[in-house]
């Protein structure tokens, strides 16, 4: 007899995993719960989206936990712990819980403690790159005492899951350390390119980057960075706040990581305000840079420059 898979968070990542795992051997049914399913302005469209994918939208966490044998948490970083706490109140003993969220080792350990106290088998995952190009084949690192058993199931479904430790926090430490660099590059590119564009010197700056790092297509990569931050800056900022917490947990002051979070969040705010309306994912980096407002000065940055 197969299992029922429960997806918490039916956004980009949750929906990709739900669609990709449909029909896999041993998966009898897939159900989902997302806060948007209960929001008056979004409920109908969110539920219709899930239904179009062949996924049953449920009415709450309790309903999902009553059905699911394996729960996959795919929410924003800031909700990692609160979702685990709520699931711990409803999940049946013996349920497995795969935490895909980008959170610090300490956050994952707290989530695990809540679920393990309810006899739910927690496994942390560090998703190591952007999900959309790979789907369920996205490389992920697993950790925790239950990771090896779950990895076998996931690999049978065609997923790229590798156990790195039976200790909780290791997979997340790897993921978050990498995120500081990747999200930091995004923030640096946006700031550098937009500044060069303002002064009209981009035709001089980009070739020097190409010469120094010839393996990177700086024009193409720049456009990709802009588009991803515009689309997902808010989620990336939350991840960077968890990355800052990771740095703090290591005993360092997260000077750079905190600044990355602010930059990601600022771009997300411009997106929500409509600054990039009409631009699609294939727009040039120049198109994005030209839409960034110049009149909003960060007072903290201004003070720091005095």
- Number of Cβ within a 10 Å radius of residue 210: 14
Full-model pTM: 0.90
* Pairwise pLDDT comparison (87 vs 301), residue with the higher score: 87
Tokens of 198: 């303002």
pLDDT recorded at residue 296: 55
C-alpha distances in Å from residue 273, one per residue of 92, 142, 268, 269: 43, 38, 9, 6
Kindly state the average pLDDT of the residues 234-249. 96
Domains and CATH numbers, the chain: 3-168 (3.40.50.720), 172-304 (1.10.1040.10)
Give percent of the chain above pLDDT 70: 96
Give percent of the chain above pLDDT 90: 93
pLDDT digits (tens, 9 = 90+) for 70-111: 999 999 999 999 999 999 999 999 999 999 999 999 999 999
Angle at 76 between CA 3 and CA 165, to 5 degrees: 65
Burial class, 231, CB count within 10 angstroms (exposed 0-12 / middle 13-18 / buried 19+): middle
Residue whose C-alpha is closest to residue 28's, from 6, 48, 58, 1: 1
pLDDT recorded at residue 294: 84
pLDDT band, very low/low/confident/very high, at 1 (cuts 50, 70, 90): confident
Kindly state the average pLDDT of the residues 137-149. 97
pLDDT digits (tens, 9 = 90+) for 168-189: 999 999 999 999 999 999 999 9
pLDDT recorded at residue 295: 62
3-state secondary structure of 131: coil
134 contact partners, CB below 8 Å, separation of at least 6: 160
The answer, yes or no, to whether residue 301 has pLDDT greater than 50, is no
pLDDT recorded at residue 280: 86
Helices (H), the chain: 12-21, 43-52, 61-67, 80-90, 105-117, 147-156, 170-199, 202-212, 218-249, 255-272, 285-291, 299-304
pLDDT recorded at residue 281: 78
pLDDT recorded at residue 24: 95
pLDDT recorded at residue 227: 95
Average pLDDT of every residue of the chain = 94
């Amino acid at each position: 007899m197969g299992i029922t898979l429960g997806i918490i968070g039916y956004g980009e990542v949750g929906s990709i995993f739900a669609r990709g795992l449909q029909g896999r051997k041993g998966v009898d049914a897939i159900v989902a719960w997302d806060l948007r399913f209960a929001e008056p302005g979004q409920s109908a469209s969110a539920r219709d989206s899930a239904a179009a994918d062949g996924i049953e939208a449920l009415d709450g966490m309790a309903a999902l936990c009553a059905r699911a044998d394996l729960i996959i948490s795919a929410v924003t970083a800031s909700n990692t712990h609160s979702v685990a706490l709520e699931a711990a109140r409803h999940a049946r003993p013996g349920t497995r819980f795969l935490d895909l969220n980008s959170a610090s080792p300490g956050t994952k350990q707290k989530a695990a403690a809540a679920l393990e106290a309810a006899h739910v088998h927690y496994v942390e995952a560090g998703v190591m790159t952007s999900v959309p190009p790979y789907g369920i084949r996205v490389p992920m690192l697993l950790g925790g005492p239950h990771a090896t058993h779950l990895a076998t199931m996931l690999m049978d479904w065609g997923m790229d899951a590798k156990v790195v430790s039976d200790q909780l926090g290791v997979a997340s430490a790897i993921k978050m350390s990498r995120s500081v660099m990747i999200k930091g590059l995004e923030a640096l590119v946006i700031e550098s390119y937009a500044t060069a564009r303002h002064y009209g010197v981009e035709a001089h700056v980009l070739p020097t980057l190409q010469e120094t790092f010839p393996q990177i297509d700086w024009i193409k990569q720049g456009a990709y960075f802009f588009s991803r931050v515009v689309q997902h800056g808010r989620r990336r900022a939350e991840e960077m706040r968890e990355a800052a917490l990771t740095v703090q947990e290591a005993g360092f002051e997260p000077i750079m990581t905190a600044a990355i979070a602010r930059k990601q969040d600022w771009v997300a705010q411009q997106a929500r305000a409509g600054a990039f309306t009409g631009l699609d994912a294939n727009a040039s980096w120049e198109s994005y840079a030209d839409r960034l407002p110049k009149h909003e000065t960060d007072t903290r940055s201004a003070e720091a420059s005095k």
